[in-house]
Amino acid sequence: MRKRASLACALAVASSLLITSPAAAASNIDTKPLRDAVTVSGIREHLAELEKIAKANVFEGVPTRATGTPGHEASVDYVVEKMRAAGFNVTLQEFKADIFFEQSEAEFERVSPSPVAYMRYDGQEGVWYTADFSGDGDVTANAVVVDFTEPTSEASASSSGCEPEDFSPEVSGKIVLLQRGTCDFGLKVENAQAAGAVGAVIFNEGTIGAPDRNDVLIPTLAGYDANIPVVGTDYATGRDLVDLVSEGPVTLHVSVDGFINEGVTTRNVIAETPGGRADRMVVVGGHLDSVYEGPGINDDGSGVSTMLETAEQMKVLGITPRNKVRFIFFSGEEQGLLGSNYYVSQLSKKQIQDISVMLDFDMLASPNYGRFIYDGNGDEQGFAGPNGSGTIEQVFKDFWDSQGLAYETIPFDGRSDYDAFTTAGIPAGGIFAGAEDIKTAQQAALYGGTAGQPFDKCYHQLCDDLGNINDQGLSEHSDAAVHAILTFAQTQSAVNGTGKGASKKAKEFKGHHKVR
């Protein structure tokens, strides 16, 4: 989950949680009893069970809970059992998904001049990665640059490969170098292969001063018919190749051995309180799947386990919410937000209007954690969510202020399960502990931990297990999550919603996987 956060001023002032109209949350809700009941040890019990499930369901040699694997199905069964025992009404929402995974390691090399075997991105190091839903192939051919645009300090207007006319006859039989820009990656690839290209390398656009537009690009081609091997790379590598091609022939080798399992039946788990106002429903979401490369205990076992423990302790304390609370454990998030997109697509207009807020909890216990809040009103990051999203942001800010804890805001970038909800006009928000981005010295001063190291060194890797959980970070994030859940469950005020966000949304998938 690549998040680029801007530093916000953390006010060391206790908050009364009084939020003014028209988007007022509850002002007199005592969340401490539930926060005290939801303990790190209780959450860890669920994390241990999820890890046990992954280890008992090894797929292609890896303990995993990825969508379409036995480990994911066992995770569904576990969540169903726990939520029913907690007194929630549980339903399973089935849908079909196309799942992509690699059968063997892909390769990306410069054969000439000066041979280089480029390092595959492993979550911390490396310059390239396989495009999600890439076609198969093992090709060696000369490179051709397609419509390169020199980057500026503003987002690039590059339309490289967006039009069939971008591809000259010399593309036939060659590997094309495509720059990120204004159209979907899948469209670029379809145009390239129609022109006879045998492979594609898509590099980031290079916007000056924008790390997410320069670092490793992992595109998704989902929804397009790619039949040539495709990899994504960072801007520096792509630019180096562009410059080399301008000087003379450059020969590349690209190999992808992928497999698309089409029409896999998978399930979202939907669990809701028996009572509460259905016209002010609080949706709490996290994803139940991991990546294929590991068990996914922080990503997103931490969010899932916090949701489970919260539900169980609501029953223990006899909490009857004023507003119905619906916990949703989404499938297919790592393949492109499939479960949350499907869930929202099945809602009627009235059902959309009846959702008061959506709270997204994804990665709450990163070992070198930070404290990040989605910028709901857009005043810091420039991307506002639907009306009411600012209220959610403020609830999290006020809570961490009351605890004397610093935080930063991050933008709605479309890379977690809130995306389908904000697109539909539903207020959304959440918190996040950090992924593979490097913690700065300034952030280390705010949160502790180690500057110069990733927030989660095991992001999307085999080592994302119980040893990857930071108990202090989990405590601080779970407290904030529980506070927000109960605040909106008990509020007597409506939260404004069903209004579009104020800005263009960056259509990107979590886990680096980007559409354009």
Q: Please indicate, yes or no, if residue 94 is contained in any of the structural domains.
A: no
pTM of the model: 0.81
| The two structure tokens encoding residue 204 | 């980031």
Q: Please indicate, yes or no, if residue 266 is contained in any of the structural domains.
A: no
**Pure H helices in 62-168:** 70-85
Q: Please indicate, yes or no, if residue 17 is contained in any of the structural domains.
A: no
pLDDT of residue 414: 83
> Rounded distance, CA 110 to CA 133, Å?
23
Name residues whose C-beta falls within 8 Å of residue 169's C-beta, 6 or more positions apart in sequence. Answer: none
Q: Please indicate, yes or no, if residue 376 is contained in any of the structural domains.
A: yes
Please check whether residues 450 and 369 belong to one and the same domain: yes
Q: CB 481: neighbour CB atoms within 10 A?
A: 27
- DSSP summary character for residue 200: E
The domain boundary, picked from 197, 225, 259, lies at 259
Quick: pLDDT tens for 169-180. 999 999 999 999
Please check whether residues 145 and 255 belong to one and the same domain: yes
- DSSP summary character for residue 468: G
Q: Is residue 56 classed exposed, middle or buried when 0-12, 13-18 and 19+ CB atoms within 10 A define those classes? A: exposed
**Total count of domains within the chain:** 2
Residue 42, pLDDT > 80, answer yes
Q: List strand residue ranges (DSSP E) for 157-250, in order.
A: 175-179, 199-203, 218-219, 230-233
pLDDT of residue 292: 85
Please check whether residues 303 and 440 belong to one and the same domain: yes
Q: Please indicate, yes or no, if residue 242 is contained in any of the structural domains.
A: yes
| The two structure tokens encoding residue 368 | 């070198």
> Rounded distance, CA 301 to CA 474, Å?
11
Catalytic residues: 333
Please check whether residues 498 and 402 belong to one and the same domain: yes
Please check whether residues 411 and 475 belong to one and the same domain: yes
The domain boundary, picked from 259, 282, 300, lies at 259
* 3-state helix, strand and coil shares in percent for the chain, rounded to the nearest 5: 30, 25, 45
Maximum CA extent, the chain: 73
Name residues whose C-beta falls within 8 Å of residue 227's C-beta, 6 or more positions apart in sequence. Answer: 135, 136, 137, 193
pLDDT of residue 19: 33
Please check whether residues 202 and 71 belong to one and the same domain: no
For residues 336-357, give the mean pLDDT: 96
Report angle CA 94, 226, 120 to the nearest 5 degrees: 95
For residues 115-134, give the mean pLDDT: 90
Quick: pLDDT tens for 432-461. 999 978 899 999 999 999 998 889 989 888
What's the chain's average pLDDT? 90
CATH at 222: 3.50.30.30
| The two structure tokens encoding residue 299 | 């990503």
Please check whether residues 327 and 430 belong to one and the same domain: yes
Q: Is the distance from CB of 356 to CB of 386 less than 8 angstroms?
A: no
CATH at 79: 3.40.630.10
Least confident of 151-155, 216-220, 260-264, 501-505: 501-505
The domain boundary, picked from 227, 259, 291, lies at 259
Residue 1, pLDDT > 80, answer no
Name the residue among 232, 123, 170, 228 with its Cα closest to residue 456.
123
Q: List strand residue ranges (DSSP E) for 366-505, in order.
A: 372-374, 408-410, 428-432
Quick: pLDDT tens for 224-282. 999 999 999 999 999 999 999 999 999 999 999 988 888 999 999 999 999 999 999 99
Please check whether residues 376 and 327 belong to one and the same domain: yes
Please check whether residues 68 and 177 belong to one and the same domain: no
Please check whether residues 211 and 281 belong to one and the same domain: no
| The two structure tokens encoding residue 385 | 């969510």
Q: Please indicate, yes or no, if residue 300 is contained in any of the structural domains.
A: yes
Please check whether residues 347 and 249 belong to one and the same domain: no
For residues 285-313, give the mean pLDDT: 96
Name residues whose C-beta falls within 8 Å of residue 451's C-beta, 6 or more positions apart in sequence. Answer: 439, 440, 441, 443, 444
Greater model confidence, 295 or 121:
295
Please check whether residues 408 and 479 belong to one and the same domain: yes
Least confident of 373-377, 420-424, 508-512: 508-512
**Pure H helices in 209-300:** 235-247
| Domain carrying residue 445 | 32-88+273-514
Greater model confidence, 497 or 24:
497
Name residues whose C-beta falls within 8 Å of residue 165's C-beta, 6 or more positions apart in sequence. Answer: none
Pairing of strands 128-130, 175-179: unpaired
- In degrees and rounded to multiples of 5, residue 72 shows phi and psi of -70, -40
Q: Please indicate, yes or no, if residue 10 is contained in any of the structural domains.
A: no
Residue 357, pLDDT > 50, answer yes
Q: Please indicate, yes or no, if residue 6 is contained in any of the structural domains.
A: no
pLDDT of residue 259: 85
Residue 317, pLDDT > 80, answer yes
pLDDT of residue 498: 56
